[in-house]
């Protein structure tokens, strides 16, 4: 299977923007890092792909986009952060949660995520204040929720597809694919309608990826009669940017007394990064040094 890729393109002479992702390795890495259940793999995988595509739209190296699904379901909150090039990290609160299948026999991602809360998007573009957008969660299926977010909160009518395919028993990730279609202002209605009519074919993207087809070929075929024009390819990944120095700041925020008590009582502290589960060990001497930096 081809390496993970994001493809950007245009349809109908630039009236419609298309972005597509193939991300099997990204979702596999996330599953391995967090020990995800099948349900959690589907939910986090979908959210990672979407956030990665949003990251690929960032202009500067320091820019970040964070998406938070707070739907009140048993998986808990689903948090992802992406940077330029679609490099993404993410986690959810209950990685081992598994639920009975939905009535249609599929993983019940909607029930796991829940639909009693909001989707929050934070874009840190190096300005004084980050941009924060919010929208109610409408289904918990994630793709629908992001489509609703783009349409309502960013006034950008959008169609979103996100699919993760797994081996039924082992939960091995077989393919992961996504698509974001956005109409530019003044796009004639019939163009958007033509794409909506293609929903069934679009939903087969992850099946076709699993069959070994490459994303570019799939897009060329899917949109052959819509003048698909490829603009750019990028290579996304699940990768965390944590470091021991970064976690020192988290420790300092706990305060002097807490740090000294950890140094005395436990002889050190093991801190793990939420986003990738990497564990960092701080000795009692290191904790005492950090305690001195507390205000
Ligand atoms: Zn990390």
pLDDT digits (tens, 9 = 90+) for 252-293: 999 999 999 999 988 889 999 999 999 999 999 999 999 998
pLDDT tens digits, one per residue of 156-168: 999 999 999 999 8
pLDDT at residue 1 tops 80: no
Paired strand residues for 234: 6
Tokens in use for 47? 């959210």
> Ligand 1 centre and the CA of 279: distance in Å?
9
Centre of ligand 1 to C-alpha 58, Å, is 21
Per-residue pLDDT tens over the stretch 108-132:
999 999 999 999 999 999 899 999 9
- What confidence score (pLDDT) does residue 2 get? 83
Per-residue confidence (pLDDT) for residue 193, from 0 to 100: 92
The Å distance, Cα 212 to ligand 1 centre, comes to 31
Determine the pLDDT at residue 266.
84
Neighbours of ion ligand 1 (CB under 5 A): 240, 242, 273, 275-276, 278
Mean pLDDT of the chain: 95
Cα(274) to ligand 1 centroid in Å equals 6
* CATH 3.55.30.10 domain locations along the chain: 5-238
Q: What are the angstrom distances between the C-alpha of 223 and each of 15, 139, 161, 208, 242? A: 14, 28, 15, 15, 40
Q: How far is the CA of 176 from the centre of ligand 1 (A)?
A: 22
- pLDDT tens-digit map of 216-235: 999 999 999 999 999 999 99
Name which of 275, 281, 280 is nearest 33 in CA terms: 275
The CATH superfamily holding the domain 244-293 is HSP33 redox switch-like (3.90.1280.10)
- Between CA 166 and CA 174 the distance in angstroms is 5
What pLDDT shows up at residue 165? Answer: 97
Q: How many angstroms does the Cα of residue 178 sit away from the middle of ligand 1?
A: 24
The alpha carbon of 64 and the centre of ligand 1 are apart by a number of angstroms equal to 15
Residue 295 pLDDT: 73
170-195 exposure pattern, b = at least 16 Cβ within 10 A, e = fewer: ebebbbbbbbbbbbeeebeeebbebb
Instruction: Report how far ligand 1's centroid is from the alpha carbon of 234 (Å).
Output: 22
Distance CA 272, CA 96 (A): 17
What's the CATH number of domain 5-238, 3.50.50.100, 3.55.30.10, 3.40.50.970, 3.40.50.720? 3.55.30.10
pLDDT value for 198: 93
Question: Where do the CATH 3.90.1280.10 domains begin and end in the chain?
Answer: 244-293
User: Between β-strands 131-136 and 5-11, what pairing exists: parallel, antiparallel or unpaired?
Assistant: unpaired
pLDDT, tens digit, 9 for 90 and up, residues 174-227: 999 999 999 998 899 999 899 999 999 999 999 999 999 999 999 999 999 999
């Amino acid at each position: 299977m081809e390496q993970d890729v994001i493809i950007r393109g245009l349809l109908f002479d630039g009236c419609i923007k298309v972005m597509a992702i193939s991300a099997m390795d990204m979702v596999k890495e996330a599953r391995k890092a967090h020990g995800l259940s099948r349900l959690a793999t589907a939910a986090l995988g979908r959210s990672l792909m979407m956030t990665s595509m949003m990251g690929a739209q960032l202009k500067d190296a320091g820019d970040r986009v964070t998406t938070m699904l707070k739907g009140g379901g048993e998986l808990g909150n689903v948090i992802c952060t992406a940077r330029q090039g679609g490099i993404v990290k993410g986690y959810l609160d209950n990685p081992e949660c598994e639920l009975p299948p939905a009535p249609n026999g599929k993983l019940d991602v909607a029930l796991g995520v829940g639909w009693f809360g909001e989707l929050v998007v934070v874009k840190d573009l190096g300005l004084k204040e980050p941009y924060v957008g919010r929208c109610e969660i409408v289904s918990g299926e994630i793709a629908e929720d992001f489509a609703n977010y783009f349409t309502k909160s960013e006034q950008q009518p959008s169609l979103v597809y996100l699919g993760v395919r797994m081996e039924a028993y082992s939960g091995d990730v077989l393919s992961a694919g996504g698509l974001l279609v956005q109409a530019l202002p003044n796009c004639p209605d019939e163009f958007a309608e033509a794409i909506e009519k293609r929903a069934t074919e679009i939903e087969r993207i992850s099946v076709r990826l699993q069959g070994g087809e490459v994303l570019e070929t799939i897009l060329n075929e899917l949109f052959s009669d819509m003048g698909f024009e490829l603009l750019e390819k990028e290579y996304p990944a699940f990768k965390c940017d944590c470091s021991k120095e970064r976690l020192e700041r988290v420790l300092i925020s706990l305060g002097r007394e807490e740090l000294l008590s950890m140094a005395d009582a436990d002889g050190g502290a093991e801190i793990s990064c939420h986003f990738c589960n990497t564990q960092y060990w701080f000795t009692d001497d290191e904790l005492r040094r950090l305690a001195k930096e507390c205000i």
